[in-house]
Amino acid sequence: MQFSCSASQLQKAVGIVERAISQRTTLAVLENLYLELSGNRLKLRGNDLEIGIETSLFVESAGVDGSVLVRAKTFSSILSKIQADTLNVRVDVNSKIVIVANKVDFEILCTPVEDYPIFPAVESGISFTMSASVIQDLIRHTIFAVSFDETKQFLNGIFVKVESGSINFVATDGYRLALKRHTLDQSSVGDFSLIVPHKAVNELLKILGTLGDDAPIKLNVSESQIAFESERFLLVSRVIKGQFPDYRQVMPKHSDNLFSVSRHSLLNACDRATIIAATSNNVVRLNFSETSVLIKANAASLGDFKEEIDVSRLSGAGEVKIAFNVKLVLDGIRGISSDDIRLEFNQGVSPCVVRSAADEDYVYIVMPIRTNDFQEETA
């Protein structure tokens, strides 16, 4: 193998595929980056047996094709520290990959490719295309609600469901649920549902951030995998087996109280409340009246917090008291772009629905905390 290429382009390519390389694997071969030169195209792969990522770039070849494994962390570190426009790379007879740029010369031991796992082939299934910006939007509105409880693996990813021409991304950890919906342009996309692991969507989100908003991303869905493909990359992931809970049953069919509140005001007040709430299980109390909400936090070992902000009551009557984990509230409202937020809930321990007045396709549901979970307020 021998080629020369742009240092920055190679560094970007490595940055994409190394997202699929685990540093905690028990299989040493998976710590490697796969390089394969064929003509003027250099293919790069990373694989941790859960997700596989592939990309490629054009290089100037010396006519010596081949493939090799090189330790990903080492190779990436070298590229990040070389100040050069062009790199010359070759594999010598001593199974070393030689990287030369200006007066810099690295010789790194490499590994034969025989023991490297076969890169997962894209299985035949349902295929359709979405823009990078739309997929990013769907992930950002839901990924924070994924559960990391390994005893409930069916909650360890985002539930993706297509039905009636719309695609839904849903995540829940049992304490809150986030749903983002998007209407598909292709009416011919068949209905399906699956659970995509957190790691796959998290790494996909990072890769999409390097592309243009309008970059087309092809999705291919089969019974056991999902693949995302563009001109720049291919990401193939297994899906999580299991039954995702029926999220529609969580959504309240009726709410007695509906309030409109400024996202900016609520976000800042709750952020300030965390200073005290952080030492008392993140509990905050919200007391709603017709025109305002009093936000309170108390920690017996620290002190108290109170702040009143304006609200507009759209339905219901009388004072309403409800309590939440403030971190869960903040997670839900940070993903909203418009400043007009709607809060819908009943008295007591019924779920609270958070919506954006400008985006009917986003729904965030957070469970309140029972009143006997509070610390008593100091006098």
Residues 287-304 have pLDDT tens digits of 999 999 999 999 988 999
pLDDT reported for residue 252? 82
**Between residues 94 and 245, the one the model is more confident about:** 245
Pair of tokens at residue 304: 């108290």
pLDDT band at 348 (very low <50, low <70, confident <90, very high): low
Exposed e or buried b per residue across 176-205, where buried means at least 16 C-beta atoms within 10 angstroms of its C-beta: bbbbbbbebeeeebeebebbbbbbbbbbbb
Least confident of 69-78, 112-121, 349-358, 367-376: 367-376
Q: Looking at residue 187, what DSSP letter applies? A: T
pLDDT reported for residue 372? 57
Q: What percent of the chain has pLDDT over 70?
A: 97
With CA atoms as reference, report the closest residue to 342 among 243, 258, 283.
Answer: 258
pLDDT reported for residue 83? 87
pLDDT reported for residue 87? 93
What residues are paired with 352 via a beta bridge? 366
Phi, psi of 74, rounded to the nearest 5 degrees: -65, -45
Residue 373 has pLDDT above 90, yes or no: no
* The CATH classification of domain 2-109, taken from the options 3.40.630.30, 3.40.640.10, 2.30.40.10, 3.10.150.10: 3.10.150.10
User: Which pTM value belongs to this model?
Assistant: 0.90
Phi, psi of 173, rounded to the nearest 5 degrees: -120, 10
pLDDT reported for residue 374? 41
Topology, domain 257-373:
DNA Polymerase III; Chain A, domain 2 (3.10.150)
pLDDT reported for residue 315? 92
Least confident of 47-51, 91-95, 158-162, 259-263: 91-95
* CA 16 to chain CA mean position, Å: 15
| C-beta separation of 28 from 48 below 8 A | no
Residue 72 has pLDDT above 60, yes or no: yes
Pair of tokens at residue 232: 């720049």
Topology, domain 126-249:
DNA Polymerase III; Chain A, domain 2 (3.10.150)
Sign, Cα dihedral of 88, 89, 90, 95? positive
**pLDDT tens-digit map of 210-219:** 999 899 999 9
126-249 and 257-373: identical CATH topology: yes
- The SS3 assignment for 199 reads helix
- Count CB neighbours of 303 within 10 A: 12
**Between residues 136 and 350, the one the model is more confident about:** 136
80 Cβ neighbours under 8 A, 6+ residues apart: 11
Residue 375 has pLDDT above 70, yes or no: no
**Cα radius of gyration (the chain):** 25
Least confident of 22-26, 197-201, 280-284: 22-26
Q: Per-domain residue ranges for the chain?
A: 2-109, 126-249, 257-373
pLDDT band at 108 (very low <50, low <70, confident <90, very high): very high
**pLDDT tens-digit map of 148-180:** 999 999 999 999 999 988 999 999 999 999 999
Mean pLDDT of the chain: 91
